[in-house]
Amino acid sequence: MSFRIQGVRLDTFAGSFRRALQYAFYDWTREMSRSKRLITWVAILFQGYALYAALMWALMVPKGLLGYLFVLPKGRPSYLLAFLLYMIGYYVMNGMLTSEFVRKTQLEADQIAAQQIQQTLHPQKLEELQGYKVEAFYRPFRDVGGDYFDVIELPNNRTLFAVADVSGKGMPAALLAANLQALVRSIANVEADPLALARQINKHLSRYTPTDRFVTAVFVVLSRVSGELTYVNAGHNAPIMYCSGSTTFLQASGIPLGLFTGAEYKVGTAVIPPGGALLLFTDGLTDSIPGKNPADRLRDALADNSGRTMATLESLVDPELNEDDVTILLLKRTAGSASSGVLSSDSLVQQTE
């Protein structure tokens, strides 16, 4: 387990001596505002000078040399002044650090509240779909994350699967992810079509979010009777569909959401056959898998018929490489489910305007 303080990574599982060195040599005043940091360093200099003067006096340095060493001459007034300087530095630094501690405590409380709220935005329990098995895994890199996933029941035996990754990390990304969740839910209630979702969300994000923020997303609508998939991939990692040794990637059919108001997207169609699996994920998963071909590792995990596919996928995440939110959404179609109009492996995926 590890955590970050600005640009420094502190390992909480390191040895006590190593961890003590990490804490000792980290400049904690970097977390303060510029004015507080300046005041704190002045207080530290006061204390340092008082200790320096006391050391020079203890070494019995001749009075004639004290002036050259920028030390007050020996005497009760000098001792009293050094003591006052030390105590002033102590109380000022203590006050600054205490105010910073209070600020961080309030920030931590806000982060805990935000984490609890974000947990309610993700499905707490995935509904059982007849003929299918749905599993999900989500782990934010920080207290809150910028990944979003959802499983929404639609009319006419259809289900919407949504996975998205907001650029950036932490609270700003989490706020945009919450906004995205509200958009998906509100639009899906009116027009549950992947193309309509992509277009309307893209327009909203382009108009009402900062220019340096964007979202990669994939929206998949499953017709549960036939197994047909209708999807739009907006610059997201290509979902992987696997069945009987055959692998199909649902490639991007448009640019990420929020970049350009008039961006166009294509609709793709595919069929998940009985016994097949569909894996949707964010780049936090692939970036955390060691080796040059993480897609091969994912395909091998999907080929596992032991019923522990999700556990295998979770085990692929290397904590040493993980520096992003990780989201996995796995859809499996049971081998005995009904199927109609199943396409051949050469025509599993099509894209239209």
Instruction: Render pLDDT for 10-56 as a digit per residue (tens, 0 to 9).
Output: 555 556 677 677 767 777 777 788 888 899 999 999 999 999 999 99
Average model confidence (pLDDT) for the chain?
A: 85
Question: pLDDT tens for residues 322-345?
Answer: 888 999 999 999 876 655 443 333
Longest dimension (CA), the chain: 102
Q: Confidence band (pLDDT; 50, 70, 90) for 202?
A: very high
Check: pTM over 0.85? Answer yes or no: no
Question: pLDDT tens for residues 135-159?
Answer: 999 998 877 888 999 999 999 999 9
| Residue 270 pLDDT exceeds 80 | yes
> Can you tell me the mean pLDDT for 298-327?
89
DSSP label of 344: P
Take residue 86 and report the two structure tokens written for it.
């030390």
Question: pLDDT tens for residues 54-77?
Answer: 999 988 888 878 887 889 888 899
Distance CA 324, CA 75 (A): 60
Domain boundaries, the chain: 32-117, 125-352
| Residue 1 pLDDT exceeds 80 | no
Take residue 316 and report the two structure tokens written for it.
């692929």
Tokens 């990669």 locate to 216
Q: Confidence band (pLDDT; 50, 70, 90) for 217?
A: very high
Decide: 183 and 222 in contact? Cβ < 8 Å. Answer: no
Strands (E), the chain: 2-5, 8-11, 132-139, 147-154, 158-166, 215-223, 228-234, 240-243, 246-249, 267-271, 277-281, 326-333, 350-352
> Can you tell me the mean pLDDT for 269-273?
94
The domain 125-352: what is its CATH number?
A: 3.60.40.10
